[in-house]
Amino acid sequence: DGGITQSPKYLFRKEGQNVTLSCEQNLNHDAMYWYRQDPGQGLRLIYYSQIVNDFQKGDIAEGYSVSREKKESFPLTVTSAQKNPTAFYLCASSIRSGLGYGYTFGSGTRLTVV
């Protein structure tokens, strides 16, 4: 079955450490996205990628980095520069950006700083 796989489901990080969240899709989608969800805040866009080897900052990119070396993969690194990284992170993909429909979401990674 086609879909998006995020791993791990739960992640604990010590302060000052970088951590990488995985996102893999087998839908042959060109566009991929990372969102952050905090209680009562909805989903906020961190980074998006319209095509391989290209990515753009979203509304809250500070303290995060991404890469898009393969069409299927869009990993997100939460760096030590991110002041409040504890949140629920969702990855999504679509056939291409700008369509406004056909988004598929992963099941999320819950990151906790200890």
Partner 1 sequence: GIQVEQSPPDLILQEGANSTLRCNFSDSVNNLQWFHQNPWGQLINLFYIPSGTKQNGRLSATTVATERYSLLYISSSQTTDSGVYFCAAINQAGTALIFGKGTTLSVSS
- Contact residues toward partner 1 (CB under 8 A) are 33, 35, 40-45, 48, 50, 56, 58, 88, 90, 92, 97-103, 105, 107-108, 110
Determine the Cα–Cα distance for residues 42 and 52; give it in Å rounded to an integer: 27
Cβ contact 58:51 at 8 Å? no
- Least separation, in Å, of the C-beta of 39 and partner 1? 10
Residue 42 CB contacts under 8 Å (≥ 6 apart), including other chains: none
In whole angstroms, the minimum distance from the beta carbon of 101 to partner 1 comes to 4
Closest distance to partner 1 from the beta carbon of 43 (Å): 4
